[in-house]
Amino acid sequence: MQIVSANGASIPALGFGTFRVPGPDTERMVAHVLRNGYRHIDTAQIYGNEAEVGDGIRHSGIARADLFLTTKVWVENYRHVAFVASVDESLKKLKTDYVDLLLLHWPNATVPLAEQIGALNDVARAGKVRHIGVSNFNRVLMREAAALSELPLVTNQVEYHPYLDQSAVIETARSLGMSVTAYYAMADGKVLSDTPLKEIASRHGKSVAQIVLRWIVQQGLVVLSKTVSESRAMENAAIFDFALTQDEMAAIHALSRPDGRIVSPDGLAPVWDEAA
């Protein structure tokens, strides 16, 4: 498994995501992927499946120290007291005494960012969290968060796929020593019928999903893959035995378009960067 290093964190480049995965499927798939080489699991308080993630980890037989576990604090829990209580509840559900990475799930201007970042730092200092970061932050918020934090931020988890140019966010993250973690890599399934991507996949004898995942990790980024199919999960992991050419990388970048963003919920999304 390829590792991405960022501000002291060593993050497996391929993670298994659990967004909108029902509880029983979550438990089954987490156990399966961990038994078959995955070492990075991503969940969140709002997903409602932290308990099943914990059960899947337990049933996998993989030692807790051998995997990288991420969860995210929901926006309604950003006040300091509620934040700490929510992290304790997450740890209880996950059946662990720490998570490897804790993220702010979305920006929330109703709570001062300094309070949010302070709470992240406090739970990290308490040993409940090994690393901290953010999710769905634009460049301005990333810089502000990094400046407010005494401990280093290690990632910004954002939507990223061939139709969305995130070069500005990636550049800013790198300037801060942070990684970028990509979610929605399949663009809600849209990539699977894309002709240029199918042509590249055919040349390599790979699936379109494998090509897209490879395109992201080949940029030195972290990517989350989600499926409820055991066979597809194993296929998605088979992305480290080939490389895309520079021309192929460029061709995939060229698929980006101004209306490429899919995830932008009212009341949560920040003002996105123009280049993103």
Residue pLDDT, tens place only, 6-15 = 999 999 999 9
pLDDT of residue 275: 59
User: In this model, does residue 195 exceed pLDDT 60?
Assistant: yes
Question: Taking a C-beta distance cutoff of 8 angstroms, is the pair 71, 41 a contact?
Answer: no
pLDDT band of residue 56 (cuts 50, 70, 90) is: very high
Give which of 95, 89, 101, 105 is closest to 52, Cα–Cα.
95
pLDDT per residue as tens digits for the range 160-189: 999 999 999 999 999 999 999 999 999 999
pLDDT per residue as tens digits for the range 111-137: 999 999 999 999 999 999 999 999 999
Query: What per-residue string of b and e applies to 176-188 under the rule 16 or more CB within 10 Å gives b?
Result: bebbbbbbbbbbe
d(CA 131, CA 144): 18
What's the CA dihedral at 115, 116, 119, 124 to 10 degrees? -140
Q: Which residues pair with 134 in a beta bridge?
A: 104, 156
Residues 6+ away with beta carbon under 8 Å from 193: none
Average per-residue pLDDT for the chain: 97
The CB density around residue 203, as the number of other CB atoms within 10 Å, is: 12
Query: pTM value?
Result: 0.97
pLDDT band of residue 5 (cuts 50, 70, 90) is: very high
Percentage, residues of the chain above pLDDT 70: 99
Please check whether the domain covering 3-186+220-228 is classified as CATH 3.20.20.100: yes
d(CA 77, CA 82): 5
Burial class (CB in 10 A: 0-12, 13-18, 19+), 197: buried
Asked whether residue 204 is marked as a ligand-binding residue, the answer is no
**Annotated catalytic sites, by residue?**
47
pLDDT band of residue 276 (cuts 50, 70, 90) is: very low
Q: What is the mean pLDDT of residues 213-237?
A: 97
d(CA 13, CA 269): 25
Query: What residue ranges do the domains of the chain occupy?
Result: 3-186+220-228
